[in-house]
Amino acid sequence: MPFLFAATQYRVENCIEITGFAGKVRILTVPDEIEGLPVRSIGRNAFTARRDLEEISLPPTVRKLSRFAFHNCGSLKKMRLYDGVEDYSDGAVRQCGALEEIELIMRGDSYALMKEMLEGNDHAVSFRLRLPSEEILLSFPDYALIASENTMARTIQFAYEGGGYAYRQCVRKKEIRYREYDRLFPFMEHDDPSFAAVIATDRLMFPHDLNDAARERYTSFLRAHAKEAMDRFIVRGQIERVRLVTEMGLADADAISKSLVTASNKKETAICAVLMESGRQAARKPQTLSLELEDW
């Protein structure tokens, strides 16, 4: 087995800690047991600075992610784990700048792990929550902590730049405050329209606790920025978001046609098929004529 590991104890239980992986691997799937013992932890610096990792899947047996377990994995795009991780060390996925989506399988009612992972990362990231009865997709923009010197007071003052910090405050240990999350959108419309399209699409796709006012605001924004939104999704190969925009009829024929060129240039054949079908459906729709009095 190419996994490097060590026998250890976690809360007096004999178990396995993963300490690394021998050789290159693009998609890492950690087993739930090794040599008859459950895999309970990922060790300190186990996968630090690996450039080959693109996806990571952890089993439900894992309870601990040690400090810098996946630190600075520059190619890591997706991560899948369970909410049973109860010992999460700061820095476990820090400086993973390419990390776009974390899939969190929820077996309980605590969002503590999600909150800790968000607090430890200032870059943009999406959380796909797999609940027993539904799926939720929430995206969080990036932010920066800016320090400036107040020479008169001889102090250093700190301020958050970007909407990411405020969005992260909507996640608490026992709940996600969806209404607060939605109320932040007017700020994102002006601060970062490109990422605002991500937020709007995700909330419309999985509208958990979404009221009519927020739904209308998200819909209106995407209708006004359909071409820009689809181009962003196409470049990242996000067919799910492209399909949402087209199926809701938020993109007109011109936007679809131009986005089809972008998808073709990027060789995103599956997205091209979605756009072509959407274009055909738009063409089959009866045209509504608007006549003025002088037309009669």
Q: What is the pTM (predicted TM-score) of this model?
A: 0.89
- The pLDDT assigned to 290 comes to 43
Query: Please, which pLDDT band fits residue 151 given cuts at 50, 70 and 90?
Result: low
- The pLDDT assigned to 162 comes to 84
CA atoms 143, 145, 150, 153: torsion sign: positive
- What is the rounded average pLDDT of the residues 60-88? 96
- The pLDDT assigned to 241 comes to 97
- What is the rounded average pLDDT of the residues 220-230? 97
Are 176 and 112 contacting, i.e. CB atoms less than 8 angstroms apart? no
34 pLDDT exceeds 90?
yes
291 pLDDT exceeds 70?
no
Chain-centre distance for alpha carbon 150: 37
Q: What percent of the chain stands above pLDDT 90?
A: 85
- How many Å apart are CA 76 and CA 95, to the nearest integer? 10
131 pLDDT exceeds 60?
yes
DSSP state of 64: E
Pair type for strands 78-82 and 101-105:
parallel
Select the more confidently predicted residue: 151 or 46. Answer: 46
Average pLDDT, the chain: 91
- What is the rounded average pLDDT of the residues 271-290? 75
- What is the rounded average pLDDT of the residues 185-213? 96
Question: Per-residue pLDDT tens for 89-113?
Answer: 988 999 999 999 999 999 999 999 9
Residues 6+ apart with CB under 8 A from 79: 55, 56, 57, 58, 70, 93, 99, 101, 102, 103
Question: Is the CATH number of domain 1-99 3.40.50.620?
Answer: no
Annotated domain spans of the chain: 1-99
295 pLDDT exceeds 50?
no
Question: Per-residue pLDDT tens for 158-178?
Answer: 566 888 999 999 999 999 999
Place of tokens 């008859």: 36
- The pLDDT assigned to 294 comes to 45
- What is the rounded average pLDDT of the residues 135-149? 85
CB-count burial class (<10 Å; 0-12, 13-18, 19+) for 3 = middle
